[in-house]
Structure 1
Amino acid sequence: MSDNGYDSTKDSFNSAKEAAKESYEEAKEAASHAADDFKREYDNFTKDTNNKRILAGVLGIFFGYLGIHKFVLGYNKEGIILLIAGILTCGGAGIIGIIEGIIYLTKSEEEFHQTYQINKKPWF
């Protein structure tokens, strides 16, 4: 029996093993870069959400009767309803804005984003 075929198979196996290790290292590095990019974008996104949360909360407390906080969040229909209600009730509807402003400011960033940006909950 010849060991020549065995050596050839062993060399092919070792070559494939080295190629697999190289591919693994490249994939590991690419995944690491992708994870870093994802984290950076997520941090930027949540930072914007936090700014929107604070802005909507403060506007809701001080100018809630005008519905400005609704417009900031992209709820135009609800903003118009609150604006009209605020005018008709001489600002009495501002209590809604005060309550919503307090709710916005007391929620965590993630909870606010999930509730008002993703699920689009328009009232309270």
Structure 2
Amino acid sequence: MSDDKNLRDDLNDMLGDAKEKANEFAKEAKESASEFAEGAKETFASGENKKILAGVLGILFGGLGIHKFILGYNKEGGILLGATLIGILLSCVGIGILFVWIPGIVGFIEGIIYLTKSDAEFYNTYQAGKKPWF
């Protein structure tokens, strides 16, 4: 009987220790997740990294230069938008098709480049380094 009682006491002690360790681990995991979420929220809420937005807009609406305006490249965005609008106006002549397709292809390629770069590389190249083309 005393062996059973000792075994039960040992098992209860081990169970208590396991519960304590699990609670400590859960608390640490919760704190880490909270810190990570806060950091991610600060990065994207403040608009520091616009990689995904610029990349998707470049792929979908590259000819309009919206992705350039998002990154703060107003002159380059205006060039793409102007070329597209001139191409639309000249499309009745036939040569305008080139003016519509070329900015679209440039925007598409830039969108793919934006999305394939790492977040840090994108930020350093296009936002901090202000590299306007490709």
Say which SS state the counterpart of residue 109 (structure 2) adopts. Answer: helix
Aligned equivalent of 1:83: 81
CA distance in 1, matches of 2:113, 2:43: 21
Aligned equivalent of 2:123: 113
Considering only aligned residues, what root-mean-square deviation do their CA atoms show, in Å?
2.2
Aligned equivalent of 1:36: none
Residues 23-80 of structure 1 show CA distances to partners (whole Å, capped at 9, x for unaligned) of: xxxxxxxxxxxxxxxxx66872367444x10010000001000000000001001100
Say which SS state the counterpart of residue 123 (structure 1) adopts. Answer: coil
- Mapping 1:1-124, distance limit 5 Å: 44-45=42-43, 48-50=47-49, 52-90=50-88, 91-92=100-101, 93-124=103-134
TM-score, L = length of structure 1: 0.61
In structure 1, stretches of 5+ residues that fail to align are 1-39
CA distance in 2, matches of 1:41, 1:78: 31
**What percentage of aligned pairs have identical amino acids?**
62
Contact kept? 1:49, 1:109, Cα under 8 Å: no
In structure 2, stretches of 5+ residues that fail to align are 1-37, 89-99
